[in-house]
Amino acid sequence: MTTQSQGLHTHVLDTLGLEISSGQCPPGSVLRTDELAQRFDVSRTVIREVIRVLESMHLVESRRRVGVTVRPTETWNVYDPQVIRWRLAGADRPRQLRSLTVLRSAIEPVAAGLAARNATAEQCAELTERALGMVATSRGQQLEGYLEHDIAFHRIVLNASGNEMFARLGDVVAEVLAGRTQTRRPPSGSPRRSRSAPCTNWTSSPRRGVPEAYGGPRSIFAKRGSRESTVMAQQVQAVIAPGKNEPVRVETIVIPDPGPGEAVVKIQACGVCHTDLHYKQGGINDEFPFLLGHEAAGVVESVGEGVTDVAPGDFVILNWRAVCGQCRACLRGRPWYCFDTHNAQQKMALLDGTELSPALGIGAFAEKTLVASGQCTKVDPEVAPEVAGLLGCGVMAGIGAAINTGQVGRGDSVAVIGCGGVGDAAIAGSRLAGAAKIIAVDIDDRKLETAKKMGATHTVNSRTATAPTSSSRPSAARRPTNRPSTPVTSPERSSSSASPPPT
């Protein structure tokens, strides 16, 4: 075949392959040799060669008196590198990426574990060389150079596993890496922060010198600081709000391994808060898709470099923000006024790479979540998770509104309007602060009964009660506001109060 013929052959093959894999030529479609030759202005010999290649991929089949028919998707050779390339280039790209991500997450960790035991000294040296090459090319914004090292690194790992079936997947992984890298921006600056430059924190294995830290979304091994544990990017189930007022759905998401100052927490319980509905309705901001849930408790699974306040196995509740501990407010013992609160730096994502916005910096409607380690507060492991989780939102908001914001003190009179979870916590906080009179106001008698158990001295059903006269109004109480769950203190204290988020 001449060079010109080869060029025509490649053009026709790529065009038809993309049309078939994208669904433009759906299963059952008939391709006729004469029509194709006329369409591409090539000989029927070229068309027949192309058809033979497509048949080898199980994309089409030839039948007498029928012609060339597109085969059902389930019969395709989905491991063929060209089929993968065509599917990544077409409308089927998101589904193809999800399938490939699941395949890689199942195979690569196992292959890496085998490579750690079976790799030769030469393979170990080449792995290290390729890792350093990825770091150098990512810093220099050399996309093609980075991709070359990335593909070579993965091929070596698969070959070093000693499993010939894993080794045969090298071309598949190469197509995945090429497709993802070429559709993203070049790796930038710090490899730790870039999805395209996941290699960081390399150390040598005591046995063979195999790199034991391959951080980022495509992680294989990890060894962080003085706390050793094998961790990697994980796939878990989570509840996602994809768009404003759209139905929430359960999807598979990717949790990166924890970076410096971060922790991965396995969620054991998470409350349902009205704030989550606000996120779904677009009432907080429009940074969809949101990973919902924030009132949670769980167990620390792994931690990143430099984390000393929590360790794997600690039972914790999750806070909305981590405080800095260094600003003027923190040093004065008022961390709720911290000037430099923060969340995890890395982003959790959908399988297609779309970054998620975790509700209140937590995102706990998931099997696991990534947070800043300072968002984890250790509690007694004997406490039931569904009870402990309430401390992270409703209890914290209500008690904090009474004691810290409202500054309720001994002998004060307080009215709490709205006796849900946050309101009851405000009542409990007022009682802890020594308030003499605590008036619970709600339209539900059942909630008012619960409010009494939490410390309310008086209750008012605002739906059925007559409007109080000035003489019957508590003399020491400030006129209630129309905002829910707000502790209202006596005028003598001249203190203002703020409403916590609704629950």
Q: Domain of 424: which CATH number?
A: 3.40.50.720
Domain count for the chain, please give it: 4
CATH number at residue 35: 1.10.10.10
216 and 267 fall within a common domain: no
Residue 31 three-state SS: strand
* CA gap 393, 344 in Å, rounded: 18
Considering 199, 221, 243, which residue would you say is the last residue of a domain?
Answer: 221
338 and 378 fall within a common domain: yes
* CA gap 202, 199 in Å, rounded: 8
The pLDDT tens digits of the residues spanning 431-468 come to 999 999 999 999 999 999 999 999 999 999 999 986 44
Residue 126 has pLDDT above 60, yes or no: yes
Considering 221, 255, 279, which residue would you say is the last residue of a domain?
Answer: 221
Residue 65 has pLDDT above 80, yes or no: no
299 and 367 fall within a common domain: yes
384 and 242 fall within a common domain: yes
334 and 438 fall within a common domain: no
The pLDDT tens digits of the residues spanning 128-152 come to 888 888 878 876 678 888 889 989 9
| pTM across the whole model | 0.51
| Chain CA centroid to CA 263, Å | 13
Task: State the pLDDT at residue 96.
Answer: 80
362 and 439 fall within a common domain: no
Residue 345 has pLDDT above 60, yes or no: yes
Task: State the pLDDT at residue 351.
Answer: 85
Give a three-class secondary structure readout of 81-146. HHHHHHHHHCCCHHHHHHHHHHHHHHHHHHHHHHHHHHCCHHHHHHHHHHHHHHHHHHHCCCHHHH
378 and 243 fall within a common domain: yes
- Find the range with the poorest average confidence among 75-79, 209-213, 463-467: 209-213
Residue 98 has pLDDT above 90, yes or no: no
The verdict on residue 388 lying in a domain is yes
Give the strand order in the sheet containing 437-442. Answer: 413-417, 437-442, 458-461
CATH number at residue 383: 3.90.180.10
129 and 84 fall within a common domain: yes
The verdict on residue 54 lying in a domain is yes
The verdict on residue 486 lying in a domain is yes
The pLDDT tens digits of the residues spanning 411-425 come to 999 999 999 999 999
The verdict on residue 162 lying in a domain is yes
404 and 326 fall within a common domain: no
Alpha helices, H only, 264-404: 274-280, 328-331, 385-388, 394-400
For tokens 């989905």, name the residue. 78
Give the strand order in the sheet containing 60-63. Answer: 30-31, 67-70, 60-63
282 and 196 fall within a common domain: no
* CA gap 360, 369 in Å, rounded: 12
The verdict on residue 501 lying in a domain is no
Domain that includes residue 255, residue range: 234-392
∠ CA 230-131-223, rounded to 5°: 20
Task: State the pLDDT at residue 286.
Answer: 92
Residue 30 has pLDDT above 50, yes or no: yes
Task: State the pLDDT at residue 452.
Answer: 96
Give residue 116's identity as a one-letter amino acid code: A
Determine contact, residues 379/297, Cβ cutoff 8 Å.
yes
Alpha helices, H only, 385-460: 385-388, 394-400, 421-432, 445-454
The verdict on residue 144 lying in a domain is yes
Work out the average pLDDT over 368-380: 96
φ, ψ for residue 385 (rounded to 5)? -55, -40
Considering 355, 377, 392, which residue would you say is the last residue of a domain?
Answer: 392
Residue 23 has pLDDT above 60, yes or no: yes
CATH number at residue 96: 1.20.120
The verdict on residue 227 lying in a domain is no
89 and 200 fall within a common domain: yes
Residue 81 has pLDDT above 50, yes or no: yes
The verdict on residue 499 lying in a domain is no
331 and 414 fall within a common domain: no
Average of per-residue pLDDT values in the chain: 81
- Find the range with the poorest average confidence among 209-223, 264-278, 469-483: 209-223
**Which band of pLDDT confidence, cut at 50, 70 and 90, is reported for residue 484?**
very low
Percentage of residues in the chain having pLDDT higher than 90: 53
